[in-house]
Structure 1
Amino acid sequence: MVGDTAITAWSPGIPGISEVFHAHFRRHAYPVHTHTVWTLLILDDGVLQYDLDRHEHGTLRSQVVLLPPHIPHNGRTAAPQGFRKRVLYLPEDALDADLIGPATDHPTMLDPLLWNRLGSLHDTLTTPGEEFEAQSRFALIVERLGKHLRRDMRPTPPRPDRGLADDLRDLLDSRVVEGLPLEEAARLLHADPTHLIRAFTRRFSLPPHQYLTGRRVEVARRLLLAGYPAAAVAGEAGFYDQSHLTRHFKRMLGVSPARFAGRR
């Protein structure tokens, strides 16, 4: 551990698991952000508090947390010793899209069997040559998550018509690396720039520039785990230079890109 943060991150090469992330944070606070992946985590120590879709939650060591893609959330320590967590990031299609709503409503699960299965899977993922065992354990975990979330599913209300905010998010997603000026976005969407900003912030609980930065950090961490040198990642992920990347990456993950890339 250096200072207040220790992390290990890697891509395990297991279908359905994009990234494994182990971290010990003493004082780190995640800003509001979204992911394009599912976040499945357990705590080994401490207490984690977080807001998901404007609702406050907390989790303890005995609980499993599943955060759905595209839903804004943050996170912060809630105990003097901070928290130690083990996380799996799962591609959006690893779980059915109709489970995003239930996971938003009930992200925390008290299920000792599921917790133990996740702990065993993490242990397996750290052992080279045990890919088949990891795949088998992961399949049982996905099945149990689906049962949890479908158990209390309510009829899905009609989705509201797409609005300006959704159109802007699509634009930003299509231009994550190259970006686009606000005036161009307003022209393409036939909207006043300030109205565009307010509509997006109201819909997604974070301003469009912060959403775009979070997407670029996601791109950067994928490149780092794929073996790109930290010095080359900034431009590939849409940041102005390495110091620009480092500032936002450290704010999001508590460590620099070089430390993130060099932990495994």
Structure 2
Amino acid sequence: MTTSRDTATFWIEPDLHSMECLRATYIQHHFAPHAHAEFVIGVIETGAQRVRYRGGHEIMPERSLCVINPGELHTGHAATSAGWSYSTIYPDPSLLVDVASQIKGKLCGVPNCGQLVNFDYELADEFKYLHRALFSGMASRLARQSLLLQFLARLVTRHFDIQPPSELPIANRRSILRTRDYLQEHFGEQVALEELARLANLSPFHFARSFTRFIGISPHAYQLQIRIREAKLLLASGMPIAQVAVSTGFADQSHLANRFKAVCGITPRQYLKVSKKLQEFPDS
């Protein structure tokens, strides 16, 4: 490690389904329990990260290839005093569905990676090559798209369980989609589980299980992702951070900053700088 403080570089790839990317070193930072609507795929470059995941604790050591499925609750902090450095991408589940469906030759559901930590050094090196190409900003659009799809195809083939699309009774499916739309429309409000269950005409327990099974993420985590997504849009529009916090249902600017960094690994202010750069140099 050559640094004694936390550093993070975040950017968005407009040509890759607006995929978010991160390259960071964390020594002091602790990720609070959170989940992502996207996949988290990365490689530990140096050091090690300790993660609470699926009811236990795991260590992500140097050179390991790590995958977190959408909706999986997790934390993260340094495993040693030296911290850790890593490179990550956050592809949308629809992209992995497309890859899995192409591999199987038929429509598939969201694939699932059974292991958080994968000691596939060949694929880890391939990911590092992909991430360097993205980070450099020098690779062509065709190169970036080709490298990403090639890596994802190999990752899904080697480490993912490919399942058929999730099946729910049509009535339940419609009710879940109705509640999903309701959360999108009322993301800034304090919505109760019982309220959503009534809207779906299901018991709270049955609703929560059905929502998570069909959408791939719990109602609470989905609401947080919508709030974070809307906060990004408002930040990019130039709205002051304090006003963004109120508009998206957070208690105040500090609450937004804490939840934003817990999910994204960067602060709203850092995200604002990236958004401004994209607006100034849309083809960069």
TM-score range (shorter-chain normalised) is 0.7 to 0.9
- Contact residue 230 and residue 261 of structure 1 kept, 8 A: no
User: Residue in 2 aligned with 1:136?
Assistant: 143
> Partner of 2:188 in structure 1?
178
**Pick aligned residue for 1:150 from 140, 148, 157:** 157
Give how far 1:167 is off: 3.6
What pairs with 1:209-248 in structure 2 (closer than 5 Å)? 209=220, 212-221=223-232, 224=235, 230-248=241-259
How far has the Cα of 1:41 moved from its partner?
A: 0.9
Amino acid at match of 1:64: L
Instruction: Compute the displacement of 1:47 (Å).
Output: 0.9
- Percent identity between matched residues is 22
Q: Is the 8 A contact 1:4 1:26 kept in 2?
A: yes
Aligned to 1:78: 79
Q: 2:64 matched to which residue of 1?
A: 63
Where in structure 1 are there 5+ consecutive unaligned residues? none
- The letter for the 1-side match of 2:49 is L
Quote the Cα distance in structure 1 between the aligned partners of 2:160 and 2:254: 45
Alignment of 1:27-46 (within 5 A): 27-46=28-47
1:261 & 1:23 partners in 2: Cα distance?
17
Distance 1:161 1:235, change over 3 A: same
What one-letter code is carried by the residue in structure 1 that aligns with 2:189?
A: G
CA spacing shift, 1:201–1:177, aligned 2, 3 Å: closer
How far is 1:178 from its partner? 3.2
**Aligned: 1:106 with 2:115:** yes
- 79-88 vs 53-62, greater mean Cα deviation: 53-62
CA shift, 1:228, in A, is 5.9
What's the TM-score once normalised by structure 2's chain length? 0.68
Q: 1:223 to 1:136 in 2, by over 3 A?
A: farther
Q: Deviations over 1:221-253 (max 9, x none)?
A: 465467765355324544354343224334545
Alignment partners' CA distance in 2, 1:232 and 1:135: 39
Q: Alpha carbons of 1:72 and 1:125: their partners in 2 closer, same or farther (altered >3 Å)?
A: same
Letter in 2 for 1:109: N
**Aligned-partner residue type, residue 272 of structure 2:** A
1:12-55 deviation digits (Å, cap 9, x = unpaired): 32324511112221132222322221211111221112244445
Partner in structure 2 of residue 14 of structure 1: 15
CA contact (8 A) 1:117 1:141 kept: no
User: Within 2, Cα distance between the matches of 1:102 and 1:207?
Assistant: 16
Letter in 1 for 2:268: P
Higher relative contact order (CA 8 A, sep 6+): 1
Where do 5+ consecutive residues of structure 2 fail to align?
101-107, 278-284
Separation of aligned partners in 1, 2:247 and 2:10: 20
Structure-1 separation of matches of 2:17 and 2:78: 29
Contact 2:109 2:163 in 1 (8 A): no
2:172 aligned with 1:126, yes or no? no
The answer to whether the 8 A contact 1:40-1:87 is kept is yes
Aligned equivalents of 2:227, 2:166: Cα separation in 1:
28
1:160–1:235 distance in 2 versus 1, CA, 3 Å: same
User: In the aligned structure 1, how far is the partner of 2:267 from the partner of 2:69?
Assistant: 26
What SS does the corresponding residue of 2:188 show, helix, strand or coil?
coil
Q: Using a 3 Å threshold, how does the CA distance of structure 1 residues 109 and 16 change in structure 2: closer, same or farther?
A: farther
**What is the root-mean-square deviation in Å for CA atoms of aligned residues?**
4.2
Mapped contact 2:6–2:27 kept (Cα < 8 A): yes
CA 1:177/1:198 → structure 2, altered by over 3 Å: closer, same or farther? closer
Report how far residue 173 of structure 1 moved.
Answer: 4.3
Is the 8 Å Cα contact of residues 109 and 164 (structure 2) preserved in structure 1?
no
Partner amino acid, structure 2, of 1:27:
Q
| Matching of residues 39-54 of structure 1 within 5 Å | 39-54=40-55
The alpha carbon displacement at 1:211 in A equals 5.1
